[in-house]
Chain A
Amino acid sequence: MAMVETLVQSVWWIPGYSLIGAVSALPWFPGLIRRTGPRPSGYVNLLMTLFAFVHALVLLVSTWGQPPVRLSLTWLATAGLDLTVPLEVSSLSLGAVVVICGLNLFAQVYAIGYLEMDWGWARLFALLGLFEAGICALVLCDSLFFSYCLLEILTLGTYLLVGFWFNQPLVVSGARDAFLTKRVGDLFLLMGVLAILPLAGTWNFSELAVWSTTAKVDPTVAFLLGLALIAGPVGKCAQFPLHLWLDEAMEGPLPSTILRNSVVVATGAWVLIKLQPVLALSPLTGSVLIAIGAVSALGGVLVALAQVDIKRALSYLVTAYMGIIFIAVGSGQTEAAFLLLLTHAVSSALLVMSTGSVVFTCITQDLSQLGGLWGRRPVAGLSYLIGAAGLVALPPFGSFWAYLKLIDGLWGTAPGLIALLLVVNALAAYGLGRVFALVWLGKPGQMSERAPEPFWLISLPTALLAGFSLHLPLVLQFSGLLPVWDDFHLEAAVLLTVSCLSGLLGVRLRWVELPWKTVQTLLANDFYTAAAYRQTVILGVDLVSRLVNHIDRHVIDGLVNLVGHLSLFSGEGLKYSTTGRTQFYTLTILVGVVVMGLLVSLSYISNLPILAVD
């Protein structure tokens, strides 16, 4: 028992390992160490992630089924503000840590293969390490304030990771937009963080949950607070209307996309789920959550259908699935949300890995130029199918159970939402079937004539993750997370299964583009969101800043200069009227005279009998 306790106390190490890895990779970046090349930085990070993974796994197994343990460390306590880092070591958080470290382990091995020739290794691995550390810490920490801090640091990490190949203009704008979009969400979250402390007196999620059961908050305040709190997750989870960045982030290196599409976007959802009790204070907030989620789920899955870029076709599905999690949280079903978070992370990572291996050998991401790879790329093809099956609600794979739980919770209360979920699932299945058919079926396209399976560093992690994905339902059953069959509405299961059949339609049709021109253009351009932003927010900020600058230069400063020109002190005037440095002698004297004069008059004035107070 003491052994376990020591182990729990050492939970600090889990984010610590990867942080050490990230820091130790730094010397390789600006070329301080040249003789070894950048590779050691990658190996160090891989090793550190392995340590973290094993540590977390041991901890998970040894504390399985035990009540959560809370640890804390005071970071700053000053002026009545107590910033203590509370950690919650529970089976849930440790399970999440194992998934994060495991996926990062796969992603790093994959990166060693995928970016074999790249010169930016140190940067990539340092950032992957930073992400792992940040997300693990986020999952373990039980405080809104520190979650906010970590989300901000991860925002910076996204900026650097998306901007990995910073020579290319699209990468630069993608990194910029990712940073700014997420930051907008973060800042609203910061407003929520600021506002909730005077109300609740705490930032700890567990204490907030207790507080919100009895709290009496003005409905308007509760609604505004809820809006501010969900804005952060809206940005992180790439929900409408802050979803653009995820699409642009696809300019980043593919191994980082594995993490981004699975666990990085999930950080927002995690915080959202933790905040659910507070959000429930205002029913209106719940409706807003559901609305955002519904729009994102439907919009994301529709836009995905019109994409010809293989990475983008998958990334919009991420928006859609995060939207479903928003719906789950909005309707108070946190368990279903957690379950979907897990199954989506695994399947989404697998999909990126398998399509990435195609991109690696075929050098193109364009769906219209691929095809006929089934015979040459069975490992990638099978992995893709497993990933797709795990993502849509196909029994008995992972997401089916999450969907089932969610629909069961909505049964009888929200038939509209159930219909929406079924439509989203059907469209997602269709989209995944379409991508499969365009890449693996049909005749080989121009770019897929010669496409061997890539070497083991890419194939092995893909195959291993596919194996894990297949076993995920068993893992769920073993952990007692699988819902008991009898409690469920059979109709729901049947409906979900039937809605998956549309995937076959996607395979059958093999549409690169939708046959309806207007719809295709609208969806391919993401409902013209980018253009809308350019015409409104960006234009507005630009105009206002120019206006302010103009006023500053010509009105305020102009006034100053006018006064200056009219007076003796004018800099311009003196410049033209005098030569050399006489001007500051003049001024020195002038200022000196003024000061001395006032000093002298002080003694006068204070000694004047009229002013003397008796």
Chain B
Amino acid sequence: MLSVLVWLPIVAAVLVGFWPGLAAERARQTCLVVATALFGWSLWLVARFDPAQGGLQFAESIAWAAELGLYYRLGVDGVSLPLVVLNALLTWIALYSSPSGVKRPRLYFALMLLVNAGLTGGFVAQNLILFVLFYELGLIPLYLLIAIWGDSERRNYAAMKFLVYTAVSGVCILGAFLGIALAAGTSAALDYNASLTTALPLQAQLILLSLLLVGFGIKIPLFPLHTWLPDAYTEASPPVAILLGGVLAKLGTYGLLRFGLGLFPETWHLVAPGLASLGALTAAMGALAALAQKDIKRMVAYSSIGHMGYVLLAMAAATHLSLLGAVLQMVSHGLILAVLFHLVGVIESKVGTRDLDVLNGLMNPVRGLPLVSILLLVAGMASAGIPGLVGFIAEFLILQGSFPVFPVQTLLCVVCSGLTAVYFVILLSRTCFGRLDNATAYYPAVGWSERTPALILTVLILVFGLRPGWLTIWSEKTTGEMAASVNTPGPVARVASKIPQVRSIPLNPLSTLP
């Protein structure tokens, strides 16, 4: 079942890449068919998924290289299932919004499918080495996609930076995983076995967890490991940016949740306060830097950093509600960021600029881009957390879930959410509102092929905003079990309790709340 999701795009990528004499349009259509099939398949998985069960479902296991500890072991639970579906959906959106006139189309479409395979593999892999393999599989195609099909002269720089950073991230993660096997003394530890990792000495757990934090922190990205992101997102073409921001960043948060919190539930308490502060700092830094941008794509890129900060805070708090909120935020952020990048791409292709100081009056119903403006408004407001849209409920669950544990950091995140509103209002006021310059306003019409992806995503943002229960139901059980595993005091937690003042933050009277 899950193998189809992983192997179908790989096979299709090979076919599209090497089938002799395949025309560009045909390649695009093939890929779209494949993406539709993948999305349909992932929906079928959803239909078959049992939300009352917290553990892995649809598990598959084959011994691949057992002596290396490498098993081909797949499975999904409530945390990975929404991300698998999100990945399939956004791949479809990205392929649909890629014109068949891109240069070197067959390579392009093949690489897009490979990225999809790598990401899906990452979400479903239950063996540590297998995860790293998939993690790396997504890396090279994305590097090429930025370097070859990027927007401007800086694309090589951006792509290289992305590659170097992510390679370091991969090495850190691999190192941590190998360290787990080493410390546990058995390659069985590579098969996602929390009972082995929790038995390690506290010191070893801390070192391994820190290594994972750096590794996944680059991918998420966390302050100060984030500087690859604005360049990569801005230079990537919109469809690639959708995959980068919509799905790839989630591989980082997902990995941290699965392998950081999942394998080291008791040590988690030790790093949690720092992690929560780092999350709040990341949120603040993303929001403040976004405020200073003049390029709307770069602004959206920084906003993405800010929103990942909330996820980090939620994971640090590790209550049931906050973890559920984290999963919800991953999905909602994927949807919102995808629609934002898509719309920014449409504006750039029609108006010819992304400069805030040049753009003006696009809401004009006759010669502007009214529908694009309205959709941009909805997306911006969803990102700023206006109720009724999916961004709000995700952030709210995070904030409410984290408040009892980390009140100061949570309140800081609330302030950041206000700053998010500030820069989106600036963006909307400058681009959509204002007077359209009649001398230059001869924009090409926006076609349905450009509207459709944005409309689909906007409808999803609205529907899930009004009925968040349709999203939470899948992850409720799994996140509950995760929260329980963190909050059950084990042998290490008892040691940790002897270290004075690990969790208390005597900064604010609110921290005395029950």
Interface residues of A (CB under 8 A from B): 29-31, 75-81, 119, 148-150, 152-153, 155-156, 159, 163, 166-169, 171-173, 175-176, 179-180, 183-184, 187, 190-191, 194-195, 197-199, 218, 220-221, 224, 541-542, 544-546, 548-549, 552, 556-557, 560, 564, 569-572, 574-575, 581, 583-584, 587-588, 591, 594-595, 598-599, 602-603, 605-606, 611-613
Known: A31-B365, A194-B400, A544-B288. A594 touches B171 (CB 8 A): yes
The complex places the Cα of A176 from the Cα of B184 at a distance, in Å, of: 58
Known: A167-B434, A606-B182. A557 touches B227 (CB 8 A): yes
In the complex, the answer to whether B425 meets A180 with C-beta atoms within 8 Å is yes
Closest CB of chain A to B99's CB: distance in Å? 23
In the complex, the answer to whether B161 meets A79 with C-beta atoms within 8 Å is no
The complex places the Cα of A598 from the Cα of B320 at a distance, in Å, of: 37
Closest CB of chain A to B122's CB: distance in Å? 15
The complex places the Cα of A159 from the Cα of B147 at a distance, in Å, of: 40
In the complex, the answer to whether A552 meets B285 with C-beta atoms within 8 Å is yes
Chain A contacts for B374, CB-based, 8 A: 29-30
Known: A76-B472, A152-B386, A156-B381. A81 touches B397 (CB 8 A): yes
In the complex, the answer to whether A153 meets B425 with C-beta atoms within 8 Å is no
Closest CB of chain B to A477's CB: distance in Å? 40
The complex places the Cα of A594 from the Cα of B166 at a distance, in Å, of: 13
Closest CB of chain A to B49's CB: distance in Å? 17
Closest CB of chain B to A313's CB: distance in Å? 27
In the complex, the answer to whether B400 meets A81 with C-beta atoms within 8 Å is yes
Q: List 9 A-B contacts (CB under 8 A).
A: A75-B469, A79-B480, A168-B435, A564-B161, A595-B174, A598-B174, A598-B175, A606-B69, A611-B185
In the complex, the answer to whether A549 meets B433 with C-beta atoms within 8 Å is no
Residue B81 is within 8 A (CB to CB) of chain A in the complex: no
Size bracket, chain B contacts: 35 or more
Chain B contacts for A599, CB-based, 8 A: 68, 129
In the complex, the answer to whether B365 meets A611 with C-beta atoms within 8 Å is no
Contact of B365 among A30, A183, A195, A542 (CB under 8 A): A30
Closest 9 CB pairs of A and B: A571-B160, A613-B185, A549-B292, A149-B387, A545-B291, A166-B433, A548-B288, A30-B370, A557-B227
Contact of A194 among B67, B414, B432, B468 (CB under 8 A): B414
In the complex, the answer to whether B370 meets A575 with C-beta atoms within 8 Å is no
Known: A30-B371, A76-B393. A199 touches B185 (CB 8 A): no
The complex places the Cα of A29 from the Cα of B285 at a distance, in Å, of: 37
Closest CB of chain B to A284's CB: distance in Å? 14
Closest CB of chain A to B351's CB: distance in Å? 17
The complex places the Cα of A198 from the Cα of B160 at a distance, in Å, of: 48
Chain A contacts for B472, CB-based, 8 A: 76, 78-79
The complex places the Cα of A587 from the Cα of B170 at a distance, in Å, of: 14
Interface string of B357-392 (1 = CB under 8 A from A): 000010111100011001000000100001110001
Chain A contacts for B476, CB-based, 8 A: 78-79
Chain B contacts for A544, CB-based, 8 A: 288
Chain A contacts for B37, CB-based, 8 A: none
Q: Interface of chain A, helix or strand or loop or mixed? A: helix
Closest CB of chain B to A346's CB: distance in Å? 30
In the complex, the answer to whether A167 meets B435 with C-beta atoms within 8 Å is yes
Closest CB of chain A to B257's CB: distance in Å? 15
The complex places the Cα of A99 from the Cα of B291 at a distance, in Å, of: 41
Identify which of B3-11, B205-213, B268-276, B416-424 touches chain A.
B416-424
Known: A167-B361, A571-B161, A603-B68. A190 touches B289 (CB 8 A): no
Residue B178 is within 8 A (CB to CB) of chain A in the complex: yes
The complex places the Cα of A169 from the Cα of B433 at a distance, in Å, of: 9
Closest CB of chain A to B370's CB: distance in Å? 4
In the complex, the answer to whether B513 meets A549 with C-beta atoms within 8 Å is no
Contact of B513 among A29, A153, A180, A199 (CB under 8 A): A199
Residue of B nearest to A600 (CB): B68
In the complex, the answer to whether A591 meets B139 with C-beta atoms within 8 Å is yes
Further pairs besides A81-B321, A153-B386, A591-B139: 12, Cβ < 8 Å: A78-B472, A80-B320, A119-B365, A150-B387, A159-B425, A172-B433, A183-B418, A595-B136, A598-B174, A599-B68, A599-B129, A605-B178
Tell me which residues from 272 to 310 in chain B have a Cβ below 8 Å from any Cβ of chain A. Answer: 285, 288-289, 291-293
Known: A81-B400, A572-B157, A575-B157. A190 touches B414 (CB 8 A): yes
Residue of B nearest to A163 (CB): B433
Chain B contacts for A541, CB-based, 8 A: 291, 419, 422
Closest CB of chain B to A171's CB: distance in Å? 8
Residue B349 is within 8 A (CB to CB) of chain A in the complex: no
In the complex, the answer to whether B429 meets A176 with C-beta atoms within 8 Å is yes
Residue of A nearest to B190 (CB): A602
Chain A contacts for B422, CB-based, 8 A: 180, 541
Residue B324 is within 8 A (CB to CB) of chain A in the complex: yes
In the complex, the answer to whether A560 meets B160 with C-beta atoms within 8 Å is no
Contact of B186 among A184, A570, A591, A613 (CB under 8 A): A613
Tell me which residues from 155 to 187 in chain B have a Cβ below 8 Å from any Cβ of chain A. Answer: 156-161, 163-164, 167, 170-171, 174-175, 178, 181-182, 184-187
Chain B contacts for A581, CB-based, 8 A: 147-148
The complex places the Cα of A587 from the Cα of B433 at a distance, in Å, of: 46
The complex places the Cα of A583 from the Cα of B182 at a distance, in Å, of: 34
Residue B415 is within 8 A (CB to CB) of chain A in the complex: yes
Chain B contacts for A591, CB-based, 8 A: 136, 139-140, 163, 167, 170
The complex places the Cα of A125 from the Cα of B139 at a distance, in Å, of: 50
Residue B509 is within 8 A (CB to CB) of chain A in the complex: yes
Tell me which residues from 185 to 243 in chain B have a Cβ below 8 Å from any Cβ of chain A. Answer: 185-187, 224, 227
In the complex, the answer to whether A584 meets B433 with C-beta atoms within 8 Å is no
Chain A contacts for B364, CB-based, 8 A: 167
In the complex, the answer to whether B185 meets A549 with C-beta atoms within 8 Å is no
In the complex, the answer to whether B288 meets A545 with C-beta atoms within 8 Å is yes
Known: A191-B411, A557-B227. A197 touches B400 (CB 8 A): yes
The complex places the Cα of A179 from the Cα of B480 at a distance, in Å, of: 37
Residue B459 is within 8 A (CB to CB) of chain A in the complex: no
Residue of A nearest to B369 (CB): A30
